Amino acid sequence: LDLRGIFPPLATPFSPTQEVDYAQLEGNLHRYASIPFRGLVVLGSNGEYPYLAPRERLEVVSCVRRALPRDRLLLAGSGCESTQATIELTVSMAEAGADVALVVTPCYYRGAMTGAALVQHYTEVADASPIPVVLYSVPANTGLDLPLEAVLTLAQHPNILGIKDSGGDITRIGLMVHKTRQEDFQVLAGSAGFLLASYALG
């Protein structure tokens, strides 16, 4: 699955009563449909994923899939604090129409999230996932950077497609690109602020 291109992160709109505003979401999607993006990211940081109930997360994905042209890819956040919960939500996201699962690092017990623990977590999720998995490192929100050595190990997994790195460390991104050239692994810049520099690195 080729992820080259731009995937804007979709915000989740809310009504004045704090419910997900699905009508506004569909309106936003119609606007995005006229722009030749490769696809969309839903339920990432901009999608306010931590604040949605599980049923709302799935309904957002279903809503986006219905409105999104079939040739556009849908990357959906499915990372939870436990491995089992992440697997269950990832399977449900696939059933709701997601093409790729975007799995953020579990971070509540960040002191215990060693490289080995994260490799085990992501390996079990990728083994069980019916759709490809993209690692998601967003240290500004999690306080946890996915270690480079863990990324390099996970890059060898056949169902781990790549990483969305939102840390902004261009040296680290360059190392990931360079050290995974022999793998079927794609490195995505997680913010427009370092997108151009990331393109320059490959």
Write out the catalytic residue numbers.
Answer: 164
Name the DSSP letter for residue 14.
B
What gap in Å lies between CA 179 and CA 201, rounded to an integer?
A: 12
Rounded to whole angstroms, the Cα distance separating 156 from 115 reads 15
- The closest of 129, 64, 125, 56 to 97, measured between CA atoms, is 64
Question: What is the rounded distance in angstroms from the CA atom of residue 183 to the CA atom of residue 168?
Answer: 22
Could you tell me the two tokens for 29? Answer: 């999607």
Q: How many residues does the chain have?
A: 202
- 55: its two tokens: 């049923």
Residues 133 and 103 sit within 8 Å (Cβ to Cβ): yes
Contact 25, 57 (CB under 8 A): no
Report d(CA 149, CA 139) in Å as an integer. Answer: 16
